[in-house]
Amino acid sequence: MEATNVIEIYTEMTPNPESLKFVTNRHILPNFQLDFRTKEMSNGSELAKALFENPNVNGVFLANNFVTITKKAESDWFEITPELKEAVKNFIQSGKKPVDDALLPKDLLQEDPTQTEVNPINKIKDLLDKYVKPAIQMDGGHIEFKSFDEGVVTLSLQGSCSGCPSSTLTLKAGIEGLLKRMVPEVTEVVAEAN
């Protein structure tokens, strides 16, 4: 078997002790991410459905080349990791699409030429894309811009960030500090209520 056909999967801890990042050498969702917080929400994703078959799974976050799985608090990573790793590997080997096309945005690969104007929202999105998202994704999570209203930036925390004990510190000390320095119009950063 050629080395390029070998599916490699390894795990990385995240700041959230209930979430573990399963990284693979294959693309799962290039340039996009989806968060499935319940089994009922997993319609439209064969991969998320397959992972939710494990009774210990409490959430599934799909991104470029990784899956962040959130477990139920009473479960032990040592016991369930091999089974989850095998489930991810088997799914990738099956060749099935991880999500239905209906869940993907139509403009996924298209640039919006109207986004050239420099305004606070564009600056905020640009800073999040360049500096914040890569770091958050390294920890198995994702952060999504939701709104900017009267100085307040509202963000959605997904993957391992959702329910993470250190997410408030990251939001206030890290992200809010960066945005206030770089975009004077920003007065506060808050997380969207779930």
Reported as a single tens digit per residue, the pLDDT across 88-147 is 999 999 989 998 888 777 655 344 444 445 688 888 988 888 878 888 888 888 888 999
Domain membership of residue 61 as a residue range: 7-103
Confidence band for 56, pLDDT divided at 50, 70 and 90: very high
- Expressed in angstroms, the distance from the first to the final Cα of the chain is 46
pLDDT of residue 194: 62
pLDDT of residue 163: 75
Do residue 138 and residue 89 come from a single domain? no
The answer to whether residues 84 and 162 belong to one domain is: no
CA within 13 Å, CB half, 4: 0
Range 162-191 average pLDDT = 83
- What's the number of domains the chain is made of? 2
Are 56 and 139 found together in one domain? no
Residue 1 resides in a domain:
no
